[in-house]
Amino acid sequence: MPSTATTLISLSVALLAGLLLSRLAKKIQLPAVTAYLVAGVLIGPFLLGAFDLPGLGITHEQISGFGIIADVALGFIAFSMGNEFRLDQLKKIGKQATVIGVFQAIFTTLIVDASLIGLHFLIPHKVSLSAAIVLGAVATATAPAATLMVVRQYKAKGPLTNLLLPVVALDDAVGLVVFAVSFGIARSISNPPVNVLSIVLEPLLEVILSLLLGFVTGLLFTLCERFFHSRSKRMAVSVTFVLLTVGISLCKFQIGNVHVGFSSLLACMMLGTVFCNTCDFSEELMDRADRWTAPILILFFVISGAELELSVFGELTVVLIGLAYIASRSLGKYFGAGISSRMTHCDSNIVKYLGITLLPQAGVALGMAIKATELGADGAIVRNITLFAVLVYEIVGPFLTKVALTKAGDIKAEGKTSARGNRAHQ
C-alpha cells in the first residue's frame, strides 16, 4: 500500500479511535483528553502498531513523520493561551499570576532538587548529581495543552480558571530560564570546561527573540485582517499567521558558539496576546479558530499517547526514581501554588486547588529532556525519568484538573446536551 494512503488511513483510525473512546470516557466521567491519550496508547507501537498492519495502527516510523501535526497543534494552543493576557484582565490578576507563576516554578525546582540529590547520596550509582539537578528544572514545566482542553470541554469559568491559564502560560518562560541555569551547572559537573557565555545567552535569546517574533507577527496579523470582512476569510488569515509563526519558530541558526532558536509556544502566545489587545472582535475570531482546530487537537493527543514509551516500566530503577520525582514535583506544585496564592491574597478555593491543576506535564518537559541528552549517560536517565513522569501525568493529570476545577466551583453540573436534541426542539 502506498505510504501516503497508509498515512491517511492511520490518521483517520487515530481520529476515530480518539472520538469513540471519548464517548466511553464521558460515561465514566473522565476528561476527553484522557481518552485521546489512552486511544493513542492502544493503537500505538507498543500495542496495535506492533503488529505492523498497514493503516491500522501507528508505528515508530510513522510517529516521526507526524511531527508537523504536533507543531501546528501546539501553535494553536499557545495562540489561544495568548487570549488570557488581555490588558483589562491583567489589570485585575496580572500581579497575582506573575508572582504565583514564578514562585511555584522555583519552589518546585528546589523541592525536586532536594529530593533527588538526597536520593543521589543514598544510591549514587543510580542517579547522578547532574541528573538530579536537571530533573529539578524539568519539573517546572506544566503542559498547557491538557489543561486548556479540560477547560474547554467543561466550559470552566471562574476565579481559579481565570488565574490558572496565565500561570500555565508563564511556566514556559520561567521553565526555560530555570532549565538554562540548572543545565549549565549540570554540564559543568559532567563535562568541564563549558562555554558559560552560550549557556547564559542561549535561553535568554530564545525567550526574547520568541516574544519579539510573536509581537511582530501579531502586529502584521492585526494589519492584514483589516483588509478582509467576511468571517471565513478572517479566520483563514488567523490560521495563516499561526502557521507562519510556527514555521519561523522552527528555524535555528548559529552565531559563533551561540545557538539561536525560538520557542513556538512563546511566539504563538505573544501572537495571540498582541492580536487580542489590538483587534476589537478578536474573541470571536479566536472562538472560530478553536472550532476549526478541534480535529487537529484530537490527533495531537492521540499521537502523543502513541509516543508514550511504555518500555520505561521495564526498568525498576527508572520506576523508583520516577516515583520520587513525581511525588516531589507534585508536592512542589501543590504547596508552591498554595503558598504564593496565599501571599497574594487569592480566594480560598485558589489556595486549595490551583496546585492540583498544575500537575499535567508533556511537551516542554520532553523538549528539556531531549536537550539533556547532551550530558551522555546522565542525560539518558533524565530522558527516561521524564518519559515515565509524562506517561503518568498525562493520563492522571487531566482528571485531577477536572476534579479541582469542579471542587472550586468553576465547572458547573449540566444536563445532557446533544446537537440532535437541540435541532429536535427548534
Structure confidence at residue 326 (pLDDT): 93
3-class state of residue 126 by DSSP:
coil
Residue 259 three-state SS:
strand
230-244 residue pLDDT tens: 878 888 888 999 999
CA dihedral of residues 214, 149, 411, 23 (deg, nearest 10):
160
pLDDT at 246 over 90: yes
Residue % of the chain over a pLDDT of 90: 22
Q: Inform me whether the pLDDT recorded for 425 exceeds 50.
A: no
Q: Is 424 exposed, middle or buried (0-12, 13-18, 19+ CB in 10 A)?
A: exposed
Number of DSSP helices (H) and strands (E) in the chain, helices first:
18, 2
248-266: pLDDT as tens digits = 998 888 777 777 778 887 8
Are 114 and 182 within 8 A, CB to CB? no
CA dist., res. 142 & res. 205, Å (int): 21
Per-residue model confidence as pLDDT tens digits over 272-325:
989 888 887 777 777 777 777 888 888 888 888 887 777 767 778 778 888 999
- For cell 497543534, name the residue: 73
- Is the pLDDT assigned to residue 329 strictly greater than 50? yes
Q: Nearest 10 degrees: CA dihedral of 105, 108, 114, 118? A: -130
Name the pTM for this structure.
0.76
The per-residue DSSP string of 146-197 comes to HHHHHHHHTT--SHHHHHHHHHHHHHHHHHHHHHHHHHHHHHHHHS-S--HH
